[in-house]
Structure 1
Amino acid sequence: MAGLLDQPHHDGSELYVPHGAPRLGDTVPVRFRVPATGSERAVWVRTVRDAEPRMEPARLEHADEHERWYVADIPMHNPVTSYRALLDEPGGYRWLNGAGVHSRDVADTHDFRLSAHEPAAAWLDDAVVYQIFPDRFARSSGHTGRPTGELPDWAEPADWADESIGSGPSTPRQLYGGDLRGIEQRLDHLQRLGVDTVYLTPVFPARSNHRYDASTFDHVDPVLGGDEALVSLSRALHSRGMRLLGDLTTNHTGAGHEWFARAQADRASAEASFYYWQDEAPGYVGWLGHDSLPKLNYNAPALAERMVEGPDSIIGRWLREPVSLDGWRIDVANMTGRHGADDFTHQVARAIRATMRDLNPEAVLVSEHFHDAGLDLRAGGWHTNMNYSAFTRPVWTWLVDPDNELGFLGLPTSIPRRDGGSMVATMREFDAAVPWSITTHQWNMLGSHDTPRLRTVVGSRAMVEVAAGLLFTYPGTPVMFAGDEGGLTGVNGEHGRAPMPWPSIDAGGGPRWDAATFDVYRSLIALRRSSRALREGGIRWAVVEPDAVAYLRETADERVLVLVARAPWGGATLPRHLVPAGGEAQNLYGGAALSLRPDAIELPGDGPGVQVWRLA
């Protein structure tokens, strides 16, 4: 897969597909780019209508010495319409789909897709999201010893400088005392970094520091400052032109939840129908067998009304004034509504989206799904997903420290080290499982509160920069976990939930805060904001080598070349016509000038590092 620009290409960006969601009944012109070296006699497009394939002819729209452009008209008959191109060539044919070009027949899994479902709000095109675990970000008191005041009976108070406990019974009980007003006091840090959207893990009362075992959804935990503190934080963010997303468990409650208490006390109550019951101990179904997390049962219409349907539901009430959340991230969204023969996931997701649309059409709905979310994301519910499969996992396998012994996101093995070809193939396959309108909004992450820290995974500041280079130049929405911008470490999710070392941050660096890494993140965020192609453009893979990858991000008015290398490599050449005659390659990041020979563009073999050029 060394050089890929000599292959036909298509993606869902504006060069190939009209912007915006088509409506049922529309005819959508889709374009395909074929290099002038191609041998095609004709191009056809295979669509699927009511589960039956149809072939639509593509007509030659434009040709020059470098490439030919074909266009085909696709009827939008089904809400999600899949298609792929057939290149009729001497001796046979090849298929072009989202995973690449194939000289064999292929399944429909990786076909391109048009979706009539309304995409996420346009503001997500430009967003950079910052995830905050409230207990570990900042205390409004500024006190650095053990938290003071009235604490819950389950809590084991910790000094702000204590190491996070990564395993054992104390892990969910270790309480540092971060609060929402502490976050509000530190918004200058976020704006200095360049982020504009805050995603908070749960803020409801619970019996753990992570609060995914809520005891009510009606109020904010007093330990965090209560409802007034969330209102204040939301208003402070909105006054700065920033946004705020909440986190909700639609799959389960805590065993201490008020609904569950009523359900246990009165099996004839409405709340009793909200849960799954069983004869075996403890008498009810817990999420993944955890007694502390009783699973919700969406066979109960009253549960949907209480949780997800309408302005007075849990989903709705926090979107309204005075909190006015800008959206929700849904915990374990892939399991919500699923148990045995029951499968209400798509129904629940669509109900949430409808509630959000009525209250705030700009609100976004993000699912947590660690695995293949393709089928769920095509159903018109979740706007987008936390993109572990198509981004986090493949990037980790390319950049991981080869001596690591870290667990690999639920697998009984350590993180394997693989080459660039493996990374790119994985990205393309998972990206192809969803429409481009979702790919371009996927929440790309290098880690979260549920994973080891990036710095621990890759082992060095240089590799952190390489990973961040991918994060801020790849299609999708960049999402970062608070502290990654300063090189915080952690061997698993719980251990990685380290408190922000504000004394070192305020001093411009220190033993627990790498100021150089902060500068890398700030510079790359600024780079992304400076380029529409990096925010909205399509992607053409140009070079895929074991130790380096290069790709083009393109809009109608801009072409940007990104080169990312994990080690020194042999370099490569690209077609000279990528830079028009008389044009130049403007260095945007990395400092190196791009070598423009009369017959080729020469990519340097430096590494590790990130280099970005605008090809004017």
Structure 2
Amino acid sequence: MFLLHPQIEPWLIPGKNGFKVVLLAERSEALRVQVRCEPDNEALFIDMKLAGREAGLHRFIAEVPWDTGNEPTLYAFKVIENGRQSWLAGDGLHERVPHRDVMFRINRSTLPPRWVRDQVFYQIFPDRFCQGDPALQVRSGEYTYGSGRMPVVAKRWGEAINPDLPATEFYGGDLIGVRRQLDYLQKQLGITAVYLNPVFTSGSNHKYDTEDYYQVDPHLGGNEALAALSSDLKCRGMRLILDAVVNHTGTNHPWFNLYKRHTSEGAAHSEASPWRDWYYFDEAGHNHGWKGHASLPVLDYRSEGLREQIYGGPDSVLRHWMHAPYSIDGWRFDVIHMLGEGSGSTNNAHYVREFRRALREENPEAYVLGEHFNEATSWLQGDQEDGAMNYYGFAHPVREWLAGTDIAYEPANLSTAEFSAWLDSARGRIPYANQLTQFNLLDSHDTARFFTLVGGDTDAMKLAVTLQFAYPGVPSIYYGDEIGLEGGQDPDCRRCFDWEASHWNRDLFEHYKASIALRKAREELRHGAYLALLTEKDTFAFARFTDRAASLYALNRSAQACAIRIPVWKLPLKRANWVAAAEDALVSEEGWVTVIVPARSAVAILGEDKSA
């Protein structure tokens, strides 16, 4: 029995007292169909009514009340046919009642901003993207990092990274350089939003050890450069989010002042310090730092003063940069799941909700993005984050399916069926509105570049990019991926962008451009529902669709061309005219589309509802 519940209008329509749901079924004879919900934490079964057909599928409808005591409202579908039960939940079909964790879910009020769905993000590590003003570059020996034993080093642009000096080598990239390349980002590539790794004053090149939350590092151009960049982006209709590192500071922050770089009475040296309770200290008086890194002393949110400084006060850190002239559109929160009270993450959810509340007070459309290397379901139920850096639900399964390696860089052999099941499981545990604002990435400043993981195989990289731009969520390009920039594990993944265009992988660059353009042109790729249509050996096919159009994708990871026969009868399009986006062999028959997919390639097939 094939069952389908697209989690977008017109198949899911929220209202004041509840929402209308539509279930589409392969057949209707001898069926009893119900929707199960829990409006008061007790199961309620509502009979669904047959309401005609939608293309080749049978349509059942019902009205479901909101769960007024909880967010989100959970629901699932129960179908009885000849004494046999089938259940449909967010992760697919079940033969018995599914666990609450995988039921469909919808929020009535705590919704992510819709603008995020329409973006193509570009992540920039400022020191390595572009140098705009050489006079700003750190000079060798200008200062010593941390305890004073490590003098900083100025490097030539593009010079090899020394893995033994991950924090103290500087190449001279700055925010003036980012401004200079906005034409490249917007006009040549098609980028609409920028995410900057940390920009605030710090002695390191990565700046995850903040020394001043209210000053952009002068070597990046200072506050004036960020204000100018923000203004230019807004004039172009582009968005900007910054990196919030509020789980820890650097040891040289005046609040801590371990090495006495400041005149302040830092928490590191005195129990009488006004900032002593802003940090966690054990019974022996030690702050062991984030994950044991003594250079990153952990903040303690039991402190009222810290809470007021980070998010509570009118000019607190998170609010300050949302004000003019910066007016950023949101924050990406570093290790957001780890912050809290004491030495660990006690009451973490409370503080993430407080961050969200503070940002929404400043801008009702602010984007709240969390960093999670692993599964992040509990933070993505609507009341905390709008989206996560989608390592678990996208980057990791794609890495295993196409690159044959897991998160720990160990060999992995993921079948296509398990790949699809992994995607379904991760996607099905969060409200679909939040899935559409998940931050889908292939790599980042913390991981080896995907292009390097696949051994510089352009075809494999293009397959991954196709998935990135077609799968539900908002794509984010890590700077340089589009030109074939390589890099192993951190810090090698932070190489300088190569601005010599003759060195670029033009095939890959053109694929990025085409993928961005197609995403912008097709509403279903930004707002549409998702359905896996085929998982067979090394081939995978899925659809993104609305009630008016669909985009089908057929992917082949094998070394041989193959014919893929796709069951388009499963889509609720009354009369579609299917056209391949490129010159590919395409055969249509009633309810099916067959396409020849070359080795290690993907084919996009576009369809419009011609019944109107």
TM-score above 0.5, yes or no: yes
The question of 1:108 aligning with 2:100 is answered yes
- CA drift of 1:474 comes to 0.7
- CA drift of 1:435 comes to 0.7
Residue-by-residue CA offset, 1:303-342 (whole Å, 9 max, x unaligned): 1111012431100000001111111000001112165676
AA aligned opposite 2:555 = V
Aligned to 1:35: 26
The question of 1:278 aligning with 2:244 is answered no
SS at match of 2:336: coil
CA distance 1:40–1:381, shift in 2 (3 Å): farther
Q: State how far apart, in whole Å, the 1-side matches of 2:326 and 2:46 are.
A: 50
SS at match of 1:95: strand
The question of 1:267 aligning with 2:237 is answered no
Q: 1:45 aligns with which of 26, 35, 49?
A: 35
Q: State how far apart, in whole Å, the 1-side matches of 2:88 and 2:575 are.
A: 33
Contact 1:133 1:201 in 2 (8 A): yes
TM-score scaled by structure 2?
0.91
AA aligned opposite 2:239 = R
Q: 2:181 aligns with which of 181, 186, 191?
A: 186
AA aligned opposite 2:35 = V
Superposition CA RMSD, Å: 2.3
CA distance 1:582–1:534, shift in 2 (3 Å): closer
Q: State how far apart, in whole Å, the 1-side matches of 2:55 and 2:110 are.
A: 38
Q: State how far apart, in whole Å, the 2-side matches of 1:600 and 1:245 are.
A: 43
SS at match of 1:236: helix
Q: State how far apart, in whole Å, the 2-side matches of 1:368 and 1:576 are.
A: 36
SS at match of 1:562: strand
Q: 2:166 aligns with which of 167, 171, 181?
A: 171
Q: 2:391 aligns with which of 372, 388, 392?
A: 388
Aligned to 2:230: 234
Q: State how far apart, in whole Å, the 1-side matches of 2:592 and 2:473 are.
A: 30
Aligned to 2:307: 304
- CA drift of 1:243 comes to 1.1
AA aligned opposite 1:490 = G
Contact 2:568 2:592 in 1 (8 A): yes
SS at match of 2:268: helix
AA aligned opposite 2:3 = P
Q: 1:565 aligns with which of 547, 556, 571?
A: 556
Q: State how far apart, in whole Å, the 2-side matches of 1:63 and 1:89 are.
A: 18
CA distance 1:310–1:355, shift in 2 (3 Å): farther
**What are the residue-to-residue correspondences of 1:482-501 with 2, within 5 Å?**
482-501=479-498
- CA drift of 1:374 comes to 0.7
Residue-by-residue CA offset, 1:382-418 (whole Å, 9 max, x unaligned): 1111100110000011110x5xxx6x43x3x514131
SS at match of 2:447: coil
The question of 1:614 aligning with 2:606 is answered yes
- CA drift of 1:302 comes to 1.7
Q: State how far apart, in whole Å, the 1-side matches of 2:296 and 2:607 are.
A: 53
**What are the residue-to-residue correspondences of 1:259-408 with 2, within 5 Å?**
259-261=255-257, 262-280=266-284, 283-337=286-340, 343-378=346-381, 380-400=383-403, 402=404, 408=406
Q: 2:12 aligns with which of 2, 11, 17?
A: 17
Residue-by-residue CA offset, 1:492-542 (whole Å, 9 max, x unaligned): 13211110111x22xxx21xx212211110110000000001110001111
Q: State how far apart, in whole Å, the 2-side matches of 1:330 and 1:64 are.
A: 43
The question of 1:251 aligning with 2:234 is answered no
- Count the aligned residue pairs: 588
Q: State how far apart, in whole Å, the 1-side matches of 2:225 and 2:370 are.
A: 26
Aligned to 1:587: 580
- CA drift of 1:463 comes to 0.8
CA distance 1:302–1:579, shift in 2 (3 Å): closer
CA distance 1:389–1:235, shift in 2 (3 Å): same
**What are the residue-to-residue correspondences of 1:54-133 with 2, within 5 Å?**
54-63=44-53, 66-77=56-67, 78-133=70-125
AA aligned opposite 2:307 = A
Q: State how far apart, in whole Å, the 1-side matches of 2:413 and 2:123 are.
A: 27
Q: State how far apart, in whole Å, the 1-side matches of 2:189 and 2:55 are.
A: 45
Aligned to 2:261: none
- CA drift of 1:39 comes to 6.3
Contact 1:84 1:112 in 2 (8 A): yes
Contact 1:11 1:112 in 2 (8 A): no
SS at match of 2:8: coil
Residue-by-residue CA offset, 1:271-324 (whole Å, 9 max, x unaligned): 1111111134x7113111111111111111221111012431100000001111
SS at match of 1:585: strand
Q: State how far apart, in whole Å, the 2-side matches of 1:579 and 1:376 are.
A: 32
SS at match of 2:338: coil
Aligned to 1:3: none
Structure 2 runs not aligned, ≥5 long:
146-151, 258-265
Contact 1:486 1:518 in 2 (8 A): yes
Contact 2:55 2:574 in 1 (8 A): no
Q: State how far apart, in whole Å, the 2-side matches of 1:40 and 1:390 are.
A: 37
Contact 2:289 2:297 in 1 (8 A): yes
CA distance 1:103–1:583, shift in 2 (3 Å): closer
AA aligned opposite 1:271 = W
- CA drift of 1:547 comes to 1.1
**What are the residue-to-residue correspondences of 1:426-575 with 2, within 5 Å?**
426-459=422-455, 460-502=457-499, 504-505=500-501, 509-510=502-503, 513-567=504-558, 568=560, 570-575=562-567
SS at match of 1:604: strand
Contact 1:398 1:417 in 2 (8 A): yes
- CA drift of 1:344 comes to 2.5
Contact 1:202 1:248 in 2 (8 A): yes
Aligned to 1:160: 157
- CA drift of 1:575 comes to 4.2
Residue-by-residue CA offset, 1:422-449 (whole Å, 9 max, x unaligned): 1111111111111111011100011111
SS at match of 1:218: strand
Q: State how far apart, in whole Å, the 2-side matches of 1:288 and 1:55 are.
A: 47
SS at match of 2:276: helix
- CA drift of 1:595 comes to 1.0
Contact 2:555 2:597 in 1 (8 A): no
Contact 1:565 1:609 in 2 (8 A): yes
CA distance 1:126–1:289, shift in 2 (3 Å): same
Give the % identical residues: 31
Contact 1:440 1:477 in 2 (8 A): yes
- CA drift of 1:454 comes to 1.2
Contact 1:46 1:85 in 2 (8 A): yes
Q: State how far apart, in whole Å, the 2-side matches of 1:268 and 1:74 are.
A: 58
CA distance 1:572–1:39, shift in 2 (3 Å): farther
